[in-house]
Amino acid sequence: TRGVQKPSADEPKPSLFSSAGSKNETFESLGLSRPLITALAGISIRSPTEIQSACVPQILKGRDCIGGAKTGSGKTLAFALPIVERIARDPFGIWAVVLTPTRELAYQLAEQFIAVGKPLGLETITVVGGMDMMGQAAALEKRPHIVVATPGRLCDLLRSSSGGVNKLSRAKVLVLDEADRMLTPTFAPDLAYLFSQMPADRQTCLFTATINDTILQLAEKPAQPGRPKPFMYRV
C-alpha cells in the first residue's frame, strides 16, 4: 500500500518510557478499556512504552507474539495488559498461564498482574517451588484467571492432582517470559508436559531480552498448524 512511511534514520529515538514515539499511542488507542486505564493510573502508569504499543493490539486480537527488548522496557505489561483486558471482557473464557524460570521473577510478574487485574476482579496466583504446596494446590483448585508459575512446581501440582483432572484444559493463553532461558534443555521436559496439558489452539506469547536462534526459528512458522506466524517485535 502507498502512504506507508519508513522512519527516517535521523528521527530522534524515543526514550524508554516516553510516549513520544512515531505513533504517539495511548493505552486507549491500543484498545484498552477505561477500568484498566484507571488501574494503570493508580500505579502512575500513563502512557505505553514502545514494546507495549507494538504488542498490546496484537495480543488483544489473539495473535501469537514474540517480543524482544532490553530489560526495563516494560515487557511484563506488554503481555499482562492485553491478557487482563481479554479476561475482563470474558471472565469465564480465558485462563492464562505465565511461565518464568525463577521464583523471584514469578513473584515480580504476579505483582504486576495483580496491580492491573485485581481492580477488575481478576484472580492471579503464584505457583513456585519451595513454598507451601498444599496451599498452592488449593489456590489452583479455585480456577484463578491467571497462573504465574515456574514450570517444575506447576508440573508437580498437575501430576499430583486428584482424579486426573486436567486443570489447564481451558487455558487460552500461554506466556513464556524470559523465553531465551525457558527454551533450554533444563526446562524442556516440564514444558513438554505443560504444553500437552493445554488446548492445542491456545495463544502463545514469548518475551525475552535476547532473541537467539531458537526464538528466531519459532518466529518463522506458526506455533500450531493453521495459525498465522507470530507477530514479532524486536529492538
Give buried/exposed letters for 208-234 (b at 16+ CB in 10 A, else e): bbebeeebeebbeeebeeebeebbbbe
Question: Residue 176 burial by CB count (10 A; 0-12/13-18/19+): exposed, middle or buried?
Answer: buried
DSSP reduced 3-state for 26: coil
Question: Would you count residue 74 as binding ligand ADP (CB under 6 A)?
Answer: yes
Q: Which of 21, 36, 37, 48 binds ligand ADP (CB under 6 A)?
A: 48
Site for Mg ion (CB under 5 A): which residue of 53, 54, 75, 158? Answer: 75
167 binds Mg ion (CB under 5 A): no
Does 77 engage in binding with ligand ADP (CB under 6 A)? yes
Q: How many residues in total does the chain contain?
A: 235
Q: Considering only 45-53, 88-96, 139-147, 222-230, which stretch makes contact with ligand ADP by CB under 6 A?
A: 45-53
Among positions 36, 63, 64, 73, the unique one binding ligand ADP when judged by CB under 6 A: 73
Q: Which stretch binds ligand ADP (CB under 6 A): 44-52, 118-126, 156-164, 179-187?
A: 44-52
Instruction: Check if the beta carbon of residue 65 is closer than 8 Å to that of residue 79.
Output: yes
**What is the Cα–Cα distance from 68 to 39, expressed in whole angstroms?**
26
Q: Determine how many CB atoms are found less than 10 A away from the CB of residue 38.
A: 11
Q: What's the min distance (Å) between Cβ of 70 and ligand ADP? A: 7
Of 75 and 86, the one with the shorter C-beta distance to Mg ion is 75
| Contact residues for ligand ADP, defined by CB under 6 A | 17, 45, 47-49, 52, 71-77
| Contact residues for Mg ion, defined by CB under 5 A | 75
